[in-house]
Amino acid sequence: MWAEYARLATEEGWTQQRIAEAKGVSRQSVVNRIKYAALADEVKSLVSDGFLTEGHLEPISAICPTSDMSSWLTPAQITLELAQFIKYQAGKNGGKSVKATREDAKRWKEFITYAETTYNALPTETQLYDKAVNGQATFKTYSPQAEFVQALTDKKARSLAGVKEARALCSTFSR
């Protein structure tokens, strides 16, 4: 179904409103279904296997980092990891409600927002004093933003505590 919505939009040039009217759904449903058509095959299979519904996908696919920290966490990774977590919970507890998924998504948004705020507060590059060589002061270029993203990636930070731990590892914050 999602592929058909995407096909109508891309190949046929239909507007979201026209698709909504033809399919008898809301325009927001069309927007979401076109977005779901681009999801990873693993996520799509979790839907077809009954672990996820569109209700689960809506809150997790809405999480989208705004800063350029993609080496740490991309929207595709967020969706896949949360979808896998829902499957894990379903196997452990017999299912995961959409309400519980919204709470998970809310926690992810919180730690991603904290990471973005921290990232945006850092300079892109700065010059740091390096030890004097032969009586001459030297400086080296240092990228606090890149160091923070690397710490997030290395720690595989997926919680507020993990982001704070990555932040503490950065030399910019420990001075």
The residues near 104 (Cβ < 8 Å, ≥ 6 apart) are 59, 60, 82, 85, 86
CA 10 distance to own-chain centroid: 25
The residues near 12 (Cβ < 8 Å, ≥ 6 apart) are none
Q: Of 11-20, 54-63, 79-88, give the range with the top mean pLDDT.
A: 11-20
Average pLDDT (114-130) is 88
Average pLDDT (91-117) is 92
Average pLDDT (8-14) is 97
Residue type, 70: S
The residues near 128 (Cβ < 8 Å, ≥ 6 apart) are 139, 140, 141, 142
Helix, strand, coil in percent for the chain, rounding step 5: 65, 10, 25
The pTM of the full predicted model, rounded to 2 decimals, is: 0.82
The residues near 19 (Cβ < 8 Å, ≥ 6 apart) are 5, 8, 9, 30
> Residues of the chain with pLDDT > 90: what percent?
71
Using pLDDT thresholds of 50, 70 and 90, give the confidence band for residue 152: very high
For residue 175, is pLDDT > 60? no
Using pLDDT thresholds of 50, 70 and 90, give the confidence band for residue 171: low
Provide the pLDDT for residue 172. Answer: 60
Provide the pLDDT for residue 28. Answer: 95
Say how far apart CA 147 and CA 144 lie, in whole Å: 5
Tens digits of residue pLDDT in 16-65: 999 999 999 999 999 999 999 999 999 999 999 999 999 999 999 989 88
Both tokens of residue 27? 């325009």
Both tokens of residue 147? 């160091």
Angle in degrees, CA 62, 64, 66, rounded to 5: 145
Provide the pLDDT for residue 150. Answer: 94
Provide the pLDDT for residue 173. Answer: 57
Quickly list DSSP for 136-157.
Answer: EEEEEEE-HHHHHHHHHHHHT-
